A and B are shown apart, each in its own frame.
Chain A
């Protein structure tokens, strides 16, 4: 009897010690700052001195197999960087949803907190993850059929949880997949095996500074070229060979444009010149696609004053330099949007607002401001009275995180300019007139994706998906799927073959939204 009591005592003590050890381990693994501490917990494995070394990182292979799906969502905002799905299957998307919404095909839980959305190619889904216990950053390749892991490449990478660990969407042509990690390291992997092919550390190679809240830029893939804004001491933008990482061209950085949170976007000027455009904390700029020549910079007043003050009077710029009433602050996250006919729409948060530019046919093309929209509405009390009167406040629009959708000449986006509202869905005409705002659903930093006139709208504070008709006449909701992914569901969505891949803060979900 006393023996069994002793045994029970030992067992209880063991359970207690084990529990305390587990709690201690969890606390040690947590990267949330411990107030008053002076040192960070030691990583499970030493961080490599050179992130690009061939010895760095390892591949683990899983049981997953690529699905037979052939449609692709090869990079951030899809093939055309417009967040619009155009593949054949969009005609078979369910236009009415049953009670409870479309079926969840699969989900992956317990991801490291973050916003990394998916790229899809050849039945494979690529996204980024972070394991905070081992401090391992990874790119994962899973099956579009069932979410089973095909491979995962990981390496030790010390990252603070600074509004999530992961960001950005990989880009792939089906043979090579590229990733920008939070600390500005660009990696290229073999799609079939997960082996890393090459890597470039932008901080070392170009002297770039890691942005606050880490890198948010998603590399642009154009054929065999990767287009990347590096924001280095001398180099502003570069084109690299996808297979080798070798430089194709580089754009000088005369006015010290920083590494951005936003991404490089393709654009065509009024003169028909193809450019790569970018918005940064100083303003916006355009680079000729064929050779990387800097064509124009439109800087906010403060950045323009700084640029012209430092300029050598004898120096003659071959690019246009103009001042515009728009300069982002704190973070510039949405990317420039091509409105067509040489017009460009720029928007940013923190009460800065939006501006539309025309990039003319002149050489060099000096941007002209078409219109600008303030970043903050009237106070909520005044707004409530105006709302009751049926008025739609004009002249105000900004979006903090996601680039708007452009569909049949109208913009659809989450508007963060409305006082006391955490983002409401809005529709604008191309001249900046607000056609409607739907005030009833707070969207936080929610995102949207369009397919065949339908908008999948993700609520940023729940991950719930609303199916909306893209209609300038008004907000028309066709369905609701409650995913309850929790707060900070801010990652962009991806679509292929009737499957919508949705990113929550710690979860990836695949919905069957069509045949």
Chain B
């Protein structure tokens, strides 16, 4: 009697274990699926422009890029994020060195130049993403009060490997990286990742 009971108990135990394993596997699958549409995001408000984005990413050229928010940009002729204002000054008031070590910022006159007032023409600054590696030097120089804070860093999701543990996030001093659903990412930052993942921006 006690042997039978033991066998029954053994079988029941096996069944329970199998059931629990099945439930666990389904739960794990669900969790994985829930996380599948999440991406690594960077909160520019927390970013301390430490430069680790350029060196800690597993990719040779980091998946992080500088982005210019044109609504915030002052379009200044002497942009402190473009010109290294600590370098020697040229006769026209611009500077001999640029901030970006990879020459990844493009500067273009907007509208017509006013020859009578050359110091107050507008210039548009765009990032050449084939060159930028997210070193944040321009972002640091764009901080108020010298700049408007228009330049900031973002993860490019078409480049990001979506590592389970992002090596930049692990090293980020102010913990500015977080996981977020792609659909919840700010609209301007969804396009590239969306193209890769086939979702709508």
A residues neighboring B (CB under 8 Å):
33-35, 37-40, 160, 162-163, 183, 203, 209-214, 302, 329-330, 349-351, 380-381, 400-401, 416, 420, 422-423, 444-445, 461
B124: Cβ under 8 A from any A Cβ: yes
Given A33-B124, A37-B111, A163-B74, the answer on whether A350 and B80 have CB atoms closer than 8 Å is yes
- List 11 contacting pairs A-B, 8 Å CB cutoff, sorted by A: A33-B110, A33-B111, A33-B122, A37-B110, A209-B118, A212-B120, A213-B119, A329-B86, A330-B78, A350-B80, A444-B145
Closest chain A residue, CB of each to CB of B122: A33
- Nearest Cβ on chain B to A29's Cβ, whole angstroms: 16
**Chain A residues in 8 Å Cβ range of B124:** 33, 35
Contacts A37-B110, A330-B146, A420-B48 supplied; 19 other A-B pairs, CB < 8 Å: A33-B75, A33-B122, A35-B110, A38-B111, A39-B111, A39-B112, A162-B74, A162-B120, A162-B122, A203-B116, A210-B117, A210-B119, A212-B76, A212-B78, A212-B93, A329-B86, A330-B78, A423-B145, A445-B145
**Chain B residues in 8 Å Cβ range of A38:** 111-112
B85: Cβ under 8 A from any A Cβ: yes
**Chain B residues in 8 Å Cβ range of A444:** 144-145
**Chain B residues in 8 Å Cβ range of A350:** 80, 85, 146
A416 to B80, CA, bound (A): 15
Contacting pair B112 A40 (CB below 8 A): yes
Contacting pair B76 A162 (CB below 8 A): yes
A203 to B112, CA, bound (A): 20
Given A210-B119, A445-B145, the answer on whether A35 and B76 have CB atoms closer than 8 Å is no
**Chain A residues in 8 Å Cβ range of B144:** 422, 444, 461
- Nearest Cβ on chain A to B123's Cβ, whole angstroms: 9
Closest chain A residue, CB of each to CB of B95: A329
**Chain A residues in 8 Å Cβ range of B43:** none
Closest chain B residue, CB of each to CB of A184: B117
- Nearest Cβ on chain A to B89's Cβ, whole angstroms: 7
- Nearest Cβ on chain A to B75's Cβ, whole angstroms: 5
B178: Cβ under 8 A from any A Cβ: no
**Chain A residues in 8 Å Cβ range of B10:** none
B112-156 to A contact mask, C-beta < 8 Å, 1/0: 100011111110100000000000000000011110000000000
- Considering the complex of A and B, which 6 residue pairs feature the smallest CB-CB distances, nearest first? A212-B119, A33-B122, A33-B110, A210-B117, A329-B85, A330-B85
Contacting pair B145 A349 (CB below 8 A): yes
Contacting pair A209 B85 (CB below 8 A): no
**Chain A residues in 8 Å Cβ range of B112:** 38-40
**Chain A residues in 8 Å Cβ range of B86:** 329, 351
Interface size for B (C-beta < 8 A) is: 29
Contacting pair A183 B117 (CB below 8 A): yes
- Nearest Cβ on chain B to A75's Cβ, whole angstroms: 25
Main secondary structure of the interface of B (DSSP, over half): loop
Closest chain A residue, CB of each to CB of B110: A33
Closest chain B residue, CB of each to CB of A375: B86
Closest chain A residue, CB of each to CB of B77: A212
Closest chain B residue, CB of each to CB of A182: B120
- Nearest Cβ on chain B to A114's Cβ, whole angstroms: 14
- Nearest Cβ on chain A to B193's Cβ, whole angstroms: 24
Contacting pair A214 B145 (CB below 8 A): no
Closest chain A residue, CB of each to CB of B50: A381
**Chain A residues in 8 Å Cβ range of B118:** 209
- Nearest Cβ on chain A to B161's Cβ, whole angstroms: 29
A444 to B86, CA, bound (A): 21
Contacting pair B78 A400 (CB below 8 A): no
B6-50 to A contact mask, C-beta < 8 Å, 1/0: 000000000000000000000000000000000000000000100
**Chain A residues in 8 Å Cβ range of B48:** 380, 420
Given A33-B75, A40-B112, A422-B145, the answer on whether A210 and B85 have CB atoms closer than 8 Å is no
Question: Which of B70, B86, B112, B119 has its CB near the most chain A CB atoms (within 10 A)?
Answer: B119
**Chain B residues in 8 Å Cβ range of A33:** 75, 110-111, 122, 124
- Nearest Cβ on chain A to B108's Cβ, whole angstroms: 9
Contact of A213 among B111, B120, B146 (CB under 8 A): B120
**Chain B residues in 8 Å Cβ range of A416:** 145
Contacting pair B80 A330 (CB below 8 A): yes
Contacting pair A211 B119 (CB below 8 A): yes
- Nearest Cβ on chain A to B121's Cβ, whole angstroms: 8
A350 to B74, CA, bound (A): 17
Question: Which of B110, B121, B124 has its CB near the most chain A CB atoms (within 10 A)?
Answer: B110
B162: Cβ under 8 A from any A Cβ: no
- Nearest Cβ on chain B to A495's Cβ, whole angstroms: 25
**Chain A residues in 8 Å Cβ range of B116:** 203, 210
Q: Which of B61-85 contact A (CB under 8 A)?
A: 70, 74-78, 80, 85
Closest chain A residue, CB of each to CB of B126: A35
- Nearest Cβ on chain B to A332's Cβ, whole angstroms: 12
Question: Which of B77, B116, B117, B120 has its CB near the most chain A CB atoms (within 10 A)?
Answer: B117
Closest chain A residue, CB of each to CB of B140: A420
Contacting pair B70 A35 (CB below 8 A): yes
B93-112 to A contact mask, C-beta < 8 Å, 1/0: 10000000000000000111
Question: Which of A160, A211, A349, A351 has its CB near the most chain B CB atoms (within 10 A)?
Answer: A160
Closest chain A residue, CB of each to CB of B70: A35
**Chain A residues in 8 Å Cβ range of B78:** 212, 330
Contact of A209 among B70, B88, B119, B145 (CB under 8 A): B119
Closest chain A residue, CB of each to CB of B86: A351
**Chain B residues in 8 Å Cβ range of A351:** 86
A35 to B122, CA, bound (A): 10
A350 to B122, CA, bound (A): 21
A349 to B143, CA, bound (A): 13
Contacting pair B76 A329 (CB below 8 A): no
Closest chain B residue, CB of each to CB of A460: B145
**Chain B residues in 8 Å Cβ range of A349:** 145-146
**Chain A residues in 8 Å Cβ range of B80:** 330, 350
Closest chain A residue, CB of each to CB of B111: A40
- Nearest Cβ on chain A to B47's Cβ, whole angstroms: 12
- Nearest Cβ on chain B to A104's Cβ, whole angstroms: 27
A416 to B144, CA, bound (A): 10
A39 to B122, CA, bound (A): 12
